[in-house]
Structure 1
Amino acid sequence: MRSRTQRAWDRIAVYLPVLLMGLLALGSWWLVRNAPSVPSDAQEAPRGHEPDYFMQNFSVKNFGADGTLLSEVRGDMGRHYPDTDTLEIDRMRLRSVDAAGRLTHASSERAVSNADGSEVQLFGNARVVRDAATGARAPTQPQLSFEGEYLHVWPQLERVRSNLPVTLTRGKDQFTADGLEYDNLAQVLKMQGNVRGTLSAKNADKKSR
């Protein structure tokens, strides 16, 4: 009797490690299956609006497919924000060349530009000046400038917009408005709010005739 019992326990002892491993595996599977899932948006902490690098006394140039310089942005200090891929610039100076070779200059106390400089917002003593155009291929155009505390500029599209008071000067003519939208390619100028203008004597004579 004792020998039969001993043999039975011996057989159980042989299979006991296998049974224990099976129970452990089953328990692990049950724990994994019933554990609370982690939200996908919690896997990576959201990044704040913090700069990832700085530049001092820098210059950023944008070239066309043929290697022609399209625009250049300079600044005393630049901060790049990866979440918006924008560059915030202190004491910004911009120089842009259009398809006809005319120069446009811009400056402000602070600016925010997109990655390639094709869209720039100017804050504080903002000024945009397009040089006068003279030549046989294009009609003569006087110097054109925009001044205000805020200007939104698209250099290559030759557009300027502002929702704050702005002064527009074309040659010797000057206009002021509470807001402005200017599209040089479409030859459209919209001025909003309290609009006032001063025409030079030469242009005033033309209008009176």
Structure 2
Amino acid sequence: MNARWWLVLERAQAALPVLGAAALAGFTWWLVQSSPREGGASGAKPAASAPDYELHRARIVRVDPQGRLEAVLDGDRIRHFPATERLLVDELTLAARDAKGQSLHAQAREGEADQRAEVVTLRGQVRAQAVSYPEPGSGLRRDVGPANFSGEGLRIDTRARVVSSNTAVKMEQDHSVVRAQGLRYDQNSGVAQLQGRVVGQYDAPTR
């Protein structure tokens, strides 16, 4: 091999580290460009407004540690939204019962609930009924009839046994019929707190 070829070979060998570094830089750039970016399309999570699953004519059931049925939520269509861990329910029907036998029943055009149906918000043509047994010592009769509620919006806490509304609502019980701009009804005590302008006739249970 003559001196000219040796010179070419030496120059090529000297250039190898530079070429290797350039190749490595190019590969690194390609890898970064190909990797999913946070919030990008490749690694995107479902939008907050998009459900991750949908059920039709489905039922959500909650039982206590002893296996006793506590609440049943039925819906014509139930969608789960992972961003809020909430259920959106069409044509909702709710039934709940506590250890004392007190019951809550409700139906509405649609509603929203957590996955255990502990707190349920009902909207549209809402009808609800609470059959109560006031706690001993409350001074309230235990033979009062069911309390019935109707309106366009109600919130039912099946754990605390509270029915509430911050919109117009009608309450009927025995011979009482009242309309108010808001309501909080405690099923355990049988006490209703009416808010805003109240119209109608309310016959309080005899103490």
Q: TM-score range by the shorter chain?
A: 0.7 to 0.9
Do residues 68 (structure 1) and 64 (structure 2) align?
A: no
Is the 1:96–1:156 Cα contact (8 Å) retained in structure 2? no
Q: Normalization by structure 1: what TM-score?
A: 0.76
Q: 1:124-174, CA deviations, whole angstroms, 9 ceiling, x for partnerless residues? A: 11122112549x9x9615212221111111112112221210012233222
Q: Normalization by structure 2: what TM-score?
A: 0.77
Percent identity (aligned): 23
RMSD value over aligned CA atoms? 3.5
Q: 1:39-78, CA deviations, whole angstroms, 9 ceiling, x for partnerless residues? A: 6443633532122322222211011122111100112222
State the secondary structure of the residue aligned to 1:107: strand
Residue type of the alignment partner of 2:21: L
Which of structures 1 and 2 has the bigger CA Rg? Answer: 1
Listed as ranges, the gaps of 5+ residues in structure 2 are none
Is the 2:132–2:187 Cα contact (8 Å) retained in structure 1? no
- Paired residues for 1:1-209 under 5 Å: 5-6=3-4, 9-10=5-6, 13=9, 16=12, 18-28=13-23, 32=28, 40-42=38-40, 44-45=43-44, 47-48=46-47, 49-133=49-133, 140-142=142-144, 143-185=146-188, 189-200=192-203
Q: Residues 183, 15 of structure 1: CA spacing in aligned structure 2 closer, same or farther, 3 A cutoff? A: farther
Number of aligned residue pairs: 198
Stretch of structure 1 that moved more, 80-89 or 20-29: 20-29
Q: What is the CA-CA distance between 1:14 and the residue it aligns to? A: 6.0
Is the 2:132–2:190 Cα contact (8 Å) retained in structure 1? no
Is the 1:165–1:179 Cα contact (8 Å) retained in structure 2? yes
Is the 2:37–2:43 Cα contact (8 Å) retained in structure 1? no
Q: Distance in 1 between matches of 2:62 and 2:183?
A: 27
Q: Say which structure, 1 or 2, has more relative contact order (CA 8 Å, 6+ apart).
A: 2
Q: What is the CA-CA distance between 1:115 and the residue it aligns to? A: 1.2
Is the 1:167–1:177 Cα contact (8 Å) retained in structure 2? yes
Is the 1:132–1:141 Cα contact (8 Å) retained in structure 2? no
